[in-house]
Structure 1
Amino acid sequence: MGHSTPALFLAQPGQRLAYRFCLQWIGGNILGFLISLYWLEVGERAALQGLEGAIGGTVIGLAQWLVLRRWCPQAGWWILSSTLCWTVLGASKLGALGWVVPQTHSDLLRLFYGLVDGMKMGAILGVGQWLVLRQCFADAKVWICVSVLAWAIALGSGWVIGGWLHTITGLFLGEVIGLALVWLLMALMTGVGLAQLLRDAAIK
């Protein structure tokens, strides 16, 4: 299957476009997470299952698609991939982790389970998204590794910081801010990965 390089990318300086894309990607992910809170309530793993995963995955997938569609003509499948992957996550023992707060208050356990569960979640999402990205980018196979690392680091860090904020303020809002940080860190790292795929495609 052929891979198309977006003409828009070739028409702009690579470094400037990489920054622009990353900012749009980060903004899209954060906005998607905040909008999803209209339908979803941040809570424990058991409270966020398949239906909640489907709702959250659709909102996030749509927000990501609005950014990605300019660079990948087949990006329409991204929404379906996101919905299916998050539904699977929600229906599994992992849960819809993008909206889950761990029960433990131990920093070490939050970090450990955040890293481990983040890797599992990143692998599931990464494979689903790779099936879309490979239609546009020849080197898309690296995306799975990017997704695994991004979600592991983001979930572990966000859960720990959310726990700190909850303890310091006594407000559950601290946990929500921690999850917002998860999405911010994930978007930053995956945004860099996607920007690199775009630059590599332009060079080739």
Structure 2
Amino acid sequence: MKWVYENWDLETDLGFIIQWIFVTLAGFLVSLIWIEIGERPDLGALEGAVGGLIISVSQWFVLKDHISQSWRWIFVHVLIWTIIGLTPIGLLGWVIPRTLNLTPRIVYGVIEGAKLGLCLSIGQWWVLRTEVLKPWRWIIASVLSWGIALPIGWMFGGILRQGTSFFLGDVLGLVLVWTIVAGMTGIALTRLLWYPVRSGNW
């Protein structure tokens, strides 16, 4: 099975990361056509399925050249985001906090972001487990990515909204969330895909 590059250089890494950020952000922005940014109770399983489908199809265009059976990436995301939409965790990629107070935005952003990263990474691990060595590292990367990105984005959105009184401030905060998540997970993927699975590595 040869779906990954065995000798990546810095230029290749940066190219992949930039593509990953671009398609992830594009997927998020396109999803806003069908999903209205709101609070947790406003978004459910249907929005989760739609958002998961759009984001994962966008990412699939980059990932399909690097892993086999990449269609599983789409399947897993639709399933996981749908389930998350039914749980108290909520669709945090499209959710803004009710409060403009920055302290709870930061504290709960870390906690809830880590929860979301864990839920997503379990499904993503299932896709990557036969493609890379030590796929458990992806779970750590995902938890860190969302645990760092969500409080930063919520804080940024809160500051903008306090300064302008416009809801758009929180939307831009979510754009920042997806940018940070895409950047960090893109870096993690380059590190994981560096090592192809060979016989005897199981």
Question: Contact conserved, 1:14 with 1:199, CA < 8 A, in 2?
Answer: no
Aligned length: 199
Q: TM-score, normalised by structure 1?
A: 0.93
CA contact (8 A) 2:48 2:91 kept: yes
> After TM superposition, which residue ranges in structure 1, 4 or more long, deviate above 4 angstroms?
none
2:80 alignment partner in structure 1: 85
Taking the aligned partners of 1:13 and 1:156, their CA distance within structure 2 comes to: 32
In structure 2, how many angstroms separate the alpha carbons of the residues matched to 1:159 and 1:86? 20
Residue 121 (structure 1) aligns with? 116
CA distance in 1, matches of 2:119, 2:99: 24
Question: 2:3 matched to 1:6?
Answer: yes
Secondary structure class of the residue paired with 2:196 = helix
**Is the CA contact 1:105–1:163 (under 8 Å) kept in the aligned structure 2?**
yes
User: Which of 49, 57, 62 matches 1:62?
Assistant: 57
Select which of 178, 183, 192 maps to 2:178.
183
Query: TM-score, normalized by length of structure 2?
Result: 0.94
Residue 73 of structure 1: how far off its partner (Å): 1.3
1:16 alignment partner AA: E
Deviation of 1:168 (Å): 0.9
- 2:133–2:195 CA contact under 8 A, matched in 1: no
In the alignment, which residue of structure 2 is the partner of 1:39? 34
Kindly indicate whether the alpha-carbon contact (under 8 Å) linking 2:25 and 2:178 is maintained by their aligned counterparts in 1.
yes
Q: Deviation of residue 5 (structure 1)?
A: 4.1
For 1:27 and 1:152, the matched residues in 2 are separated by 21
Q: Any stretches of 5+ residues in structure 1 without a counterpart?
A: none
Alignment root-mean-square deviation, CA: 1.6
Partners in 2 of 1:199 and 1:157 — Cα distance? 29
Q: Give the distance between the partners of 1:152 and 1:90, measured in 2 at CA.
A: 19
